[in-house]
Structure 1
Amino acid sequence: MTETAIDGVKKGKSKEVCGYPISIFFIVVNEFCERFSYYGMRAVLVLYFRYFLQFDDDLATSIYHTFVALCYLTPILGAIIADSWLGKFKTIIYLSIVYAIGQVVMAVSAVNDITDSDRNGTPDSLTFHITMSMLGLLLIALGTGGIKPCVAAFGGDQFQDHQAKQRGTFFSVFYLCINGGSLLSTIITPLLRAQECGIHSQQKCYPLAFGVPAALMVVSLVVFIAGSGMYHKTKPQGNIMLAVCKCIGFAISNRFKHRSSVHPKRTHWMDWAEERYDKLLIAQIKMVLKVLFLYIPLPMFWTLFDQKGSRWTLQATTMDGNFGIAILQPDQMQTVNPIFILTLVPIMDKIVYPLIKKCGLNFTPLRRMTVGMFLAAMAFVAAAVVQIQIDKTLPSFPSASQSQLKLLNMGSNTLMVKLSNNYSIELQAAQATENYITFEEESIKVSLPNSTISRTVVLPKEKRQTLLIPSNVSASWEVTDDLMKKPEQGANGVRFVNGLAGTVNVSAGAHSFGSIGSSQASNYSFLSNGKATFTITNGVNTCEYSREFGFGSSYTLLIPSNFMWGPTCWEFILAVEDIKPNSFHMGWQIPQYFLITCGEVVFSVTGLEFSYSQAPSNMKAVLQAGWLFTVAVGNFIVLIVAEIAQIEEQWAEFFLFASLLVAVCIIFSIMAHFYTYTDPTAIEAQFRDKSDNESHQERLEMEKKHSIDHHDENDEQKQTKM
């Protein structure tokens, strides 16, 4: 297929369907796949840091927001590359290749070859995974950020002047593809992550959760290349951002260069650039700087907004995700945001804003943005209230000076147990103490008052233990180490204790508890929520035991000494609840998601619209870059709070963020009050008219001078002849 070059534009032969060039369908599919890839990977990212790479909450949050910040810094680089050297088409191709490689590297980094020894002190394999994942994220940030300012603009380039209506529809469809890709990916990738896979051990399947987005990115690249012959490709025309930076730099340097000399005062400091730059360009930069000044408070909104994928997702891991008709994974709660966006945008445009206008209220764009910031702050107040309720349901683990102990009677007789602090406990047959007992001592003496039997139990600090009292009390008593934190990602920690005289084997599907000796406890296995069926056998007899599990619990399942074999044995097994399941429902996060999405619709959509309306015709990309830069700065603020503030209580951190945004909201409202809206088109027209008049005047003067010179020349010739 041949191409023709007209005015620096390579115009491909793209047929039209219903008035639309076929080439835009390749771009729309490309954007859908790319957004699926990005948001799908990002949806599970903080859980990957937290539970696969074993980072703590603060480090996982910090790296997550560093990555998001880089994704919003690199658009500036992408715009410079596209406008100055490669053009939009080649920039999208080359950086998409980098993007796809980054996604593949992330998928490879998540392949589970980490053994228990790696997690318990041999760091080599874990170091490899961390290095690979950081490299993958760096490539993804460069790729997704680099193509961000190019794809939509490249799509707009495909339309001719007579297709203005179709161009407007294209941008609406383009925005729909962004949210559609986000919605589907945040539903699908958490489901993929919830599967179990691995080489040495079965764990959550992050390779699949990252692998599918990687495949979609490859598809995105292939689809985009497939439409190559149909595209209209604009050659690079020079980067206006570089021109703006040079002009500002010259104005500053020129002002300081003449600070000590006598010069006429300038109305605006940018007027110091008049010696070198056109007055129209300077006037346009003044308009841009006026808007950029308003951008200064805006990063705080993004500081709160982007924590949906970090702090709020980690919050969801401590909640009950059973919605009856469906069980949601913690990272799937992020789907609420795009669902609300697709619902609220038309409601605000078609109902809310017209009603406000009918009420006679002047709801200006800057006032809308102020309301959006306030709504985001209220969302974090709601998140803090939810966190307070969650904290009430969390277990109280021992402090640095404490230890905790639980007693378990595995026999068929009632026991009276006395502790060295004269604390007596009556344990029924096959019964455990309901709660852990907290001690400050380093050891205690446990005795049976009706006998001479006693044992000394060492109590390590900051540990939970269970003392197993066998049926034959004169035999040795075992002490087990219990879980010291909620099981990760809403899983359930389960172990078996064998009170029988012989060895038993226990399994549940792919989970094997191994051979459990008499009066011994197995290691923990971590099971997903729902019904689990356990098979118990001693090599001769076999029985099954079933139990429903919730989210984030821990159980010790006792096979008592009076155990009777049969097809089922549920009536004999004692379930000791060491850590209660999550009881605060995930649905309570919906109000905070609703508030933050309302804030996004009022703030983000309005902000982009305001920036576009206040930007000079040739500097809309500059303000777009400035807008994206506020997102990056907002994510860096999260890093500062997470790493420097070191607030122990999560609810207090949420309140801190809400308070900071309210304070910034007040500052922004004052700035907005003194802002004067401008019409860039009218201002530009004035300067062009003035420039045309000056040019016309210069031409007249030149013609007049030329006429005088010509007259003088004729006089000289006459005198010479004479």
Structure 2
Amino acid sequence: MVDPSSSREHARTRSFPEICLKEMCSSQLEPSCFGYPFSIFFIVINEFCERFSYYGMRAVLVLYFKYFLRWDDNFSTAIYHTFVALCYLTPILGALIADSWLGKFKTIVSLSIVYTVGQAVMAVSSINDLTDHNTDGTPDSIVTHVALSMTGLILIALGTGGIKPCVSAFGGDQFEDHQEKQRSRFFSIFYLAINAGSLLSTVITPILRAQQCGIHSKQQCYPLAFGVPAALMAVSLIVFMIGSGMYKKVQPQGNIMVQVCKCIGFAIKNRFRHRSKEYPKREHWLDWASEKYSKRLITQTRMVLKVLFLYIPLPMFWALFDQQGSRWTLQATTMDGNFGAIQIQPDQMQTVNPILIVIMVPVVDAVVYPLIRKCKINFTPLRKMTVGMFLAGLAFIAAALVQLQIDKTLPVFPAAGQSQIKIINLGADNARVTFVPQNFNVSVEPLQGTDYWTFETSQLQSVTVTSGSNNETLNVASAGGNRYTLTVKNTMSGISTQWLLDNVTSKPEEGKNLIRFINNLPWTVNVTMGDADFGELIPLSASNYGVFSGGRADKIVVSTNVTNCTATSNSLGFGGAYTIIINECSGNVAALNYSQDIPPNTVHMAWQIPQYFIMTCGEVVFSVTGLEFSYSQAPSNMKSVLQAGWLLTVAVGNIIVLIVAGASKLSQQWAEYVLFAALLFAVCIIFSVMAYFYTYIDPNEIEAQLDEEEKQAKKDPDVHEKEVEAVSQM
């Protein structure tokens, strides 16, 4: 094998493939490139594609639930977190299958096939032409879509969770014992592939989702948003299998988690079997397993249980952290995503986290931690994790403050026993409108509209309209819970009025705009806006609302029997509803007036950046430190046990979201944010107390002492084992 360091100067003049081919030819048994096993490049590409597939699908998932399956925010959030929890429960199953039965390679291949099928099923489930459709494009029967979606998500959870504990470990298996430096760098490259895949996918799949596709109606293109991740997962599987002949495949050696569980179970069973006082007490309850299991396994299990005990409060952090993909994404749908040259989709805001991670990790390691050490502050790993939990709570306080500002901009819609009425004056004279018996009156200028006024339906009898010398009284026969627009116009023959039912009871979804037209011309016209045809409008009539993408200006064409006139619409922002009045059509130019029915989103998505920043800071000092701490405190052969325990805290955290959100019954979203923050602050205090009483250990030193004892026991079998002080004090 060629050593790249010995021919560094010559390597500068050769291409990357030439170097790799040279090394591959020089060692037929172990093909390598730059000193690395060539097989790991297939593993890294496999991981990049798989992470792209998973995070790309997950980025648009909660919006798929809400806008395609038509579930409400709470149910969409519940199903989302159920899916994430399942993704972090199945790694235990994957580890058991790999270590006890199939081995890592066969487990990865088998579950990747399941994974690919699941992604394909999700893509098929989102095809809106599977069933008959209503006029708005929504399926008449959603059962087929729900059944396929749930099947796909279960298969994805089995696949992504099952291979999670196998891929990185399989990559590590490809290195020889003397390649510690290359193995360490491999894990850095592996981590980079994970972040690159997640970052690119959370940028790309929301763009794909925002495209228009469909046969029955032009809907958002979820089949494409799910189909591309499905294709990437298929590529991931193919790439991984191409490298099959180069892999070093370690045969399953039995799962250490099973041994640990058996040891704990036997200790508990044996302890309760000998409850009488005639049996002497033992140093630790696990020592009751000494009749069957070695002292080494018992001691190692004690070390692991100490760390797992500290894991108990940790799920609360993940309960907040994973709401970036659910509640925070839904929050972004009510905000303004106009960043000038680009329009940010609500689900694209999730990219802020991986971007900040790439920036913050080196900054914290190279700047923040050294400064803390210079200040003589003993910033232990458990203290770092406590700070991370506190920061996550602050992030939710920031989210609550943003939500309060959003709530101020949301329109108030009528309750069941109320009606809301607005006036639009289509005439050239001022119009005075009086509501009876409230004796509430308002003056409306020509070609202007008012805001909505709310009335108790049972108490509203009539409306009197006065304009110029004309006067007219109208009966009000409105149903409760609705909005109405009263158009008035003073003409030579009297006052012309018309009641319009405004069947809009919520803000437009995903930052779209609702637009309708009123024909204020004396003849019938045909109106089109962009690709939408509003049809023919007789004088003083109104069209239905049409849905348009926010933040753009469209061409409006008004066609009459005599001429066509055009105008370019105003840029109407995001999430609003408007009535456009056609007042004039002359010289091929249409004169338009705008009346705002629902105000657009005015709180900018940039206000979410502080909460993402605080949460990312918390993640850096919590997640990275937590894994480092866990590994430093665990025996060398039980890292997988702690990895499974760590992933389990993520699963439990998502289950907590389901419990708290379901039990709280809070009607205000900001209040739910505050509740989660308060719960995390309380858990943070508990964790800080647990951390204060924790004693750090050196597992290598303890294992060395155990090795020494085993050597002494082999030399003299009659020598009784002596308890090592460091072990007995754990």
TM-score between the two structures when normalised by the length of structure 2: 0.91
* Distance in 2 of aligned mates of 1:182 and 1:685: 41
Amino acid at match of 2:444: L
Query: How far is 1:444 from its partner?
Result: 3.1
The counterpart of 1:497, out of the listed 518, 521, 526, is 518
Query: How far is 1:358 from its partner?
Result: 2.0
Preserved CA contact (<8 Å) 1:14 1:23: no
The counterpart of 2:500, out of the listed 433, 455, 479, is 479
| Residues 272-315 of structure 1: per-residue CA shift (max 9 Å, x gap) | 11111111111111001000000000000001100111111111
Query: How far is 1:117 from its partner?
Result: 3.1
The counterpart of 1:535, out of the listed 543, 548, 557, is 557
Preserved CA contact (<8 Å) 2:487 2:497: no
Amino acid at match of 1:625: A
More displaced 10-residue stretch of structure 1: 414-423 or 679-688: 414-423
Tell me the residue number matched to 1:711: none
The counterpart of 1:448, out of the listed 452, 465, 470, is 465
Change (3 A) 1:211 1:121: closer
Preserved CA contact (<8 Å) 1:417 1:448: yes
Amino acid at match of 1:660: L
| Equivalent residues in 2 for 1:622-641, closer than 5 Å | 622-641=641-660
Tell me the residue number matched to 1:664: 683
Tell me the residue number matched to 2:294: 278
Query: How far is 1:564 from its partner?
Result: 2.5
Tell me the residue number matched to 1:430: 447
The counterpart of 2:587, out of the listed 561, 566, 569, is 566
Q: Does 1:604 align with 2:617?
A: no
More displaced 10-residue stretch of structure 1: 417-426 or 183-192: 417-426
* Distance in 2 of aligned mates of 1:592 and 1:614: 32
Change (3 A) 1:498 1:437: same
Q: Does 1:549 align with 2:572?
A: yes
Preserved CA contact (<8 Å) 1:291 1:614: yes
* Distance in 2 of aligned mates of 1:409 and 1:592: 45
Tell me the residue number matched to 2:119: 103
Query: How far is 1:15 from its partner?
Result: 1.0
TM-score between the two structures when normalised by the length of structure 1: 0.92
Query: How far is 1:374 from its partner?
Result: 0.8
Preserved CA contact (<8 Å) 1:532 1:549: no
Query: How far is 1:579 from its partner?
Result: 1.0
Amino acid at match of 1:345: V
Query: How far is 1:694 from its partner?
Result: 1.7
Question: Could you say what secondary structure the match of 1:548 adopts?
Answer: coil
| Residues 369-428 of structure 1: per-residue CA shift (max 9 Å, x gap) | 011111111111111111111111111222333221112223344333222132223233
More displaced 10-residue stretch of structure 1: 73-82 or 469-478: 469-478
* Distance in 2 of aligned mates of 1:566 and 1:231: 76
Query: How far is 1:200 from its partner?
Result: 1.4
Amino acid at match of 1:161: D
Preserved CA contact (<8 Å) 2:123 2:222: yes
Preserved CA contact (<8 Å) 2:470 2:495: no
| Residues 573-620 of structure 1: per-residue CA shift (max 9 Å, x gap) | 111111111111111111111110010010000000011111111110
Preserved CA contact (<8 Å) 2:136 2:217: no
Query: How far is 1:326 from its partner?
Result: 2.1
Change (3 A) 1:184 1:471: farther
Tell me the residue number matched to 1:705: none
Tell me the residue number matched to 1:161: 177
Query: How far is 1:261 from its partner?
Result: 5.8
| Residues 637-691 of structure 1: per-residue CA shift (max 9 Å, x gap) | 1111221212111111111111111111111011001101111112122222212
The counterpart of 1:199, out of the listed 215, 221, 245, is 215
RMSD (Å) for aligned C-alpha atoms: 2.0
Gaps spanning 5+ residues in structure 2: where? 1-26, 721-730
Q: Does 1:59 align with 2:103?
A: no
Question: Could you say what secondary structure the match of 1:477 adopts?
Answer: strand
* Distance in 1 of aligned mates of 2:424 and 2:30: 77
Query: How far is 1:436 from its partner?
Result: 0.2
| Residues 207-257 of structure 1: per-residue CA shift (max 9 Å, x gap) | 111111111111111111111111111111111111111111111111122
* Distance in 2 of aligned mates of 1:253 and 1:58: 43
Change (3 A) 1:465 1:55: same
| Equivalent residues in 2 for 1:336-375, closer than 5 Å | 336-375=352-391
Matched residues, percent identical? 61
Amino acid at match of 1:516: L
| Residues 161-183 of structure 1: per-residue CA shift (max 9 Å, x gap) | 12111110110011111111111
Count of aligned positions: 685
Q: Does 1:145 align with 2:161?
A: yes
Amino acid at match of 2:506: K
* Distance in 2 of aligned mates of 1:454 and 1:382: 51
Tell me the residue number matched to 1:245: 261
Gaps spanning 5+ residues in structure 1: where? 1-10, 702-722
Preserved CA contact (<8 Å) 1:408 1:469: yes
Query: How far is 1:430 from its partner?
Result: 2.3
Tell me the residue number matched to 1:132: 148
Query: How far is 1:538 from its partner?
Result: 2.7
Amino acid at match of 1:536: V
* Distance in 2 of aligned mates of 1:46 and 1:520: 39
Q: Does 1:693 align with 2:712?
A: yes
Preserved CA contact (<8 Å) 2:484 2:501: yes
Tell me the residue number matched to 1:584: 603
Q: Does 1:180 align with 2:196?
A: yes
* Distance in 2 of aligned mates of 1:517 and 1:480: 17
Amino acid at match of 2:516: R
| Equivalent residues in 2 for 1:39-58, closer than 5 Å | 39-58=55-74
Query: How far is 1:115 from its partner?
Result: 5.8
Query: How far is 1:466 from its partner?
Result: 1.2
More displaced 10-residue stretch of structure 1: 520-529 or 165-174: 520-529
Preserved CA contact (<8 Å) 1:480 1:521: no
More displaced 10-residue stretch of structure 1: 95-104 or 461-470: 461-470
The counterpart of 2:478, out of the listed 459, 474, 493, is 459
More displaced 10-residue stretch of structure 1: 523-532 or 289-298: 523-532
